[in-house]
Amino acid sequence: MTKLFLCCAFLCTFCTLTIAQDCNYTFTGKVTDFHDNSSIIGASLHIENSNKYTATDTSGNFKFENLCEGKYSVEIKHVACDTKRITINIVKNSYKEIYLEHHLNELNEVIVKTNTKTEKTSVEQVLKKDIIDNFTDKSIGDALNTLSGVSSLNTGNTIVKPMIHGLHSSRLLIINNNVRMFDQEWGDEHAPNIDINASNRITVVKGANTLKFGSDAIGGLILIKPKKYAIKDSIFGSTITSFNTNGLGGNINSEIVKTYASGFFGKFQLNYKQLGDFNTPNYNLTNTGLKNSNASFTTGYNSYQKGFTFFYSYVDNEIGILQSSHIGNVNDLVNAINNKEPSVKEKFSYAIDVPKQKIVHHLAKLEAYKRFKGLGKLSVQYDFQINRRQEFDLRRGDRKNTPVIDLRLFTNSLQTDLEIDAFSDFKIHTGALIRYQQNNAISGTGTSPLIPDFDKYDAGIYVVANYNLNDTSELSAGIRYDFSKIDARKSYAVSEWQETYNYDELFPEFETGNIEGTTIFTNPNFVFHNTSASLGYSKVFENNMSLFVNYGLASRIPNPSELFSSGLHHSAARIETGLLNLDKEIANKFIVSLEKNNEHFGFTISPYFKSIQGFIQLIPVGITTTIRGAFPVWEYQQTNAQIFGVDIDVNKKVTEKISYQGTISLLKGTNLKEHTPLIHMPSTNFNNSITYRNVALKQLTIRLENRTVLQQNQYPDYNFNTFNAIQQKDVFVDISTTPPGYSLFNFSSSAVFKPFKKGDLKLEFNIDNLLNVSYRENLNRLRYFADELGRNFNIKLKINY
């Protein structure tokens, strides 16, 4: 009886399992590209822990048959796609559409050499990380100075403002980690507050393809990008130290990066630089030292479909200004110009005394993106900046340590960008921006603020499209509209408001009705509407030749300095005055670039032309007398201008180990109203270098470079006569005649060693101004007072770990 019962139970259980294990289910589906929803052909699919395999057909479809009920893990593979695994629960016949991320190469930096399309229609030059590391103890302006068509406007040797084709300050857009820099950039002596060590790649855009970032890039765009990290578990970093004999100081920079296979990453970077007084070949430059403390932190999540990034940077600069440039009046300026050496020459010191600048800059951003199937990528970013600029001059008594200029600029922005790339031959970028900016002229300086309190409101919208005409050519076009409003609070002398500038008739709506003694208080309000556009074409030929043609219409509104300036700049011995009746600049830009690149020889020829209506320039207009003496008055005025020139780059591989590089830049700027040259235009310059590189011998690199700058013979005559109270006669003040040209040689060498299993050690030895030449640079605002730097020996040590 017992045996009979067990037999029946076994038969019942077997029948139940047989009924439950219905293995006639079918799993079908389609594999498509998440990027553009196109079918993926030939993708292989495997149900893990089984012998079931299949592949997609010409329509991207697949099919598994005879599946039992249950959960299955399916692996999907395809060339150029990341392997993907999904879990499917089979309880009936099922269908599923599977998306592969066919464009994962966008997550990592990939360099491809090819004879097909270049994927760009603008004229660009790039500084990569290995070149940036050469300038770890210098500024971003020094690094960019190595590119053709890029020069700099200097105040001494530590304040370096980049110039592209003779234009600088508000006419250049500097984008740091996708954030447009606002750091009182309007001043000639205001350098970008950027730590070059935090960047991985710097791109200079000379053409018109800048509408995504703003409508006012009349000069061009400087795009500073961080490194993108691969999605894997890793930790690595580097430390660079350097020492300079000229200035007896150096720099230390260290960074550590942690990445995860999940897509999360983090990076911390710290930099400190200190140098004492610099020297020329013949004397010490008193009070020219500097101290820089910089730090940055980045964290985020990176995947193809979505991600976010948080970035924060802190820059703290204290910069000494040449002591002999602190002059009391225009007669001191005459003596400085006539004397061959500065009036103050003291022993070397690390002390930073007045005159000096102290700048603190905070920048933070939060950016997030998400990709939408069959559409593209939407990015949203919020960023803010706080810039505190203090300028100190020689003062006595209670105000000895009080700055004469104390400005705090707060900027915050919200922007969106939608990249529509679902079409194989057509890509669109569109987005919008809103920005609020507040300038606070800190009270308590004891002087009238050079720039008054103001609020500025900006809003913009743009569309840029790129269309692949065929496999070798591309067309791009874009348009942008910007709205700007400036609301300022400023006081004027009644005589200036009513008589000198006739503002009471031109701008009666700015008057508040508040007059105290000889001072009138006003509320200037301006509204501007800007429309900008761009058009570009690129063509790649079979013989490694490429052609780029760019046209751009750019508009720039007057910045607060040009509208409201009213004060004395002691280092330049001049009073600067803005004008309320300035209008916006409108520029038409044309640039053509013919490029050839192959393994042994390459060149780039880039002629350009810019016509600028309403060009705003700061020029001398007369003399005024204050309690400290007589000073020239420099005033912002408008004219029509044109700038044309050509940049030429050549590279030649002479042998397997020896290569040559050369550049030449020619430029001419003309004031069309006065038929005179524009002020502060760079002169013709040449760069030539020979490099020996032996990879087998510790990657030994030896380089000799020559830079030749011709005298600028095209300059306006703004010389003047003034009465010298000591000599009791008129004296001639020559502030226009340019210094002679010069030629410098620089030497650099490096080698890479493997002292430990992981990582490496790179040792560099460099000599700047090898022949210790005495010279003066026309674009240095302190050229009236002293020579440029003499010979400098530099040692760098970089450890990658």
Q: How many CA atoms lie within 13 A of 601 on its CB side?
A: 3
Does the residue 663 lie in any domain? yes
**What pLDDT shows up at residue 15?**
43
Does the residue 681 lie in any domain? yes
Does the residue 295 lie in any domain? yes
> What is the mean predicted confidence (pLDDT) over 644-657?
95
- Asked if 366 and 500 sit in the same domain, the reply is yes
Does the residue 384 lie in any domain? yes
Q: What is the mean pLDDT of the chain?
A: 89
Within 8 A by CB and 6+ apart from 345, the residues are 283, 284, 286, 324
* Residue that is last in its domain, among 198, 220, 242: 220
Q: How many CA atoms lie within 13 A of 274 on its CB side?
A: 6
pLDDT tens digits for 15-47? 444 444 578 899 999 998 877 777 888 889 999
Q: Which of 479, 484, 432, 436 is nearest to 460 (CA)?
A: 432
The answer on pLDDT for 12 being more than 60 is no
Does the residue 471 lie in any domain? yes
Contact call for residues 60 and 41 (beta carbons, < 8 A): yes
Q: Tell me the CATH number at 794.
A: 2.40.170.20
**What pLDDT shows up at residue 121?**
57
Residue 110: band (very low, low, confident or very high) from pLDDT cuts 50, 70, 90:
very low
pLDDT tens digits for 717-730? 998 887 777 777 88
Separation of alpha carbons 58 and 43, rounded Å: 10
The answer on pLDDT for 753 being more than 60 is yes
From first CA to last CA, the distance across the chain in angstroms is 78
Percent of the chain with pLDDT strictly greater than 70: 93
Q: Tell me the CATH number at 49.
A: 2.60.40.10
Residues forming a β-bridge with 317: 292, 359
**What pLDDT shows up at residue 16?**
44
Contact call for residues 528 and 483 (beta carbons, < 8 A): yes
Q: Could you give the 3-state DSSP secondary structure of residue 560?
A: helix
**What pLDDT shows up at residue 760?**
92
Separation of alpha carbons 614 and 697, rounded Å: 57
Residue with tokens 């001043």: 187
- Asked if 543 and 611 sit in the same domain, the reply is yes
Separation of alpha carbons 62 and 41, rounded Å: 10
Does the residue 578 lie in any domain? yes
Most distant pair of Cα atoms in the chain: their distance? 141
**Element containing residue 131 per DSSP (H, E):** helix 129-132
Work out the burial of residue 207: count CB atoms within 10 Å of its CB; fewer than 13 is exposed, 13-18 middle, 19 or more buried: buried
Does the residue 254 lie in any domain? yes
**What pLDDT shows up at residue 115?**
37
Pairing outcome for strands 201-205 and 742-753: unpaired
- Asked if 215 and 231 sit in the same domain, the reply is no
The answer on pLDDT for 621 being more than 90 is no
How many structural domains compose the chain? 3
Interior angle at CA 659, CA 655 and CA 663, nearest 5: 145
Residue 685: band (very low, low, confident or very high) from pLDDT cuts 50, 70, 90:
very high
> What is the mean predicted confidence (pLDDT) over 436-464?
93
- Asked if 326 and 464 sit in the same domain, the reply is yes
Which range, 9-23, 42-56, 259-273, 415-429, is most confident?
A: 259-273
- Asked if 337 and 458 sit in the same domain, the reply is yes
**What pLDDT shows up at residue 723?**
76
- Asked if 193 and 226 sit in the same domain, the reply is no
Residue 777: band (very low, low, confident or very high) from pLDDT cuts 50, 70, 90:
very high
Least confident interval from 359-368, 529-538, 616-625:
616-625
Separation of alpha carbons 646 and 666, rounded Å: 5
pLDDT tens digits for 185-194? 888 888 899 9
Amino acid present at 761:
L
Residue 331: band (very low, low, confident or very high) from pLDDT cuts 50, 70, 90:
confident
User: How far lies 38's CA from each of 59, 304, 423, in Å?
Assistant: 9, 17, 10
**What pLDDT shows up at residue 547?**
94
- Asked if 189 and 252 sit in the same domain, the reply is no
Peptide bond into 192 cis (omega under 30): no
Residues of the domain holding 180? 107-220
Within 8 A by CB and 6+ apart from 774, the residues are 280, 281, 282, 787, 788, 790
- Asked if 281 and 228 sit in the same domain, the reply is yes
- Asked if 173 and 291 sit in the same domain, the reply is no
* Residue that is last in its domain, among 172, 195, 220: 220
Percent of the chain with pLDDT strictly greater than 90: 65
* Residue that is last in its domain, among 162, 188, 220: 220
Does the residue 1 lie in any domain? no
The answer on pLDDT for 390 being more than 60 is yes
Identify the sign of the CA torsion 173, 174, 179, 185. Answer: negative
pLDDT tens digits for 252-273? 999 999 999 999 999 999 999 9
**What pLDDT shows up at residue 10?**
46
Residue 305: band (very low, low, confident or very high) from pLDDT cuts 50, 70, 90:
confident
Q: Which of 175, 170, 173, 169 is nearest to 189 (CA)?
A: 169
Residues forming a β-bridge with 645: 608, 667
Separation of alpha carbons 404 and 420, rounded Å: 50
Separation of alpha carbons 706 and 525, rounded Å: 51
**DSSP summary character for residue 4:** H
Residue 543: band (very low, low, confident or very high) from pLDDT cuts 50, 70, 90:
confident
**What pLDDT shows up at residue 536?**
93
- Asked if 209 and 228 sit in the same domain, the reply is no
Residue 532: band (very low, low, confident or very high) from pLDDT cuts 50, 70, 90:
very high
**What pLDDT shows up at residue 629?**
61
**What pLDDT shows up at residue 119?**
47
Q: Tell me the CATH number at 144.
A: 2.170.130.10
- Asked if 92 and 130 sit in the same domain, the reply is no
Least confident interval from 19-23, 141-145, 700-704, 753-757:
19-23
Least confident interval from 402-406, 706-710, 748-752:
402-406
The answer on pLDDT for 274 being more than 70 is yes
Within 8 A by CB and 6+ apart from 499, the residues are none
**What pLDDT shows up at residue 627?**
66
Separation of alpha carbons 713 and 471, rounded Å: 47
- Asked if 160 and 77 sit in the same domain, the reply is no
Separation of alpha carbons 116 and 761, rounded Å: 37
Separation of alpha carbons 792 and 396, rounded Å: 36
> What is the mean predicted confidence (pLDDT) over 413-433?
92
Peptide bond into 739 cis (omega under 30): no
User: How far lies 269's CA from each of 241, 253, 779, in Å?
Assistant: 14, 7, 33
Separation of alpha carbons 711 and 643, rounded Å: 18
Separation of alpha carbons 793 and 279, rounded Å: 13
**What pLDDT shows up at residue 21?**
59
The answer on pLDDT for 136 being more than 80 is yes
Residue 281: band (very low, low, confident or very high) from pLDDT cuts 50, 70, 90:
very high
Separation of alpha carbons 684 and 711, rounded Å: 8
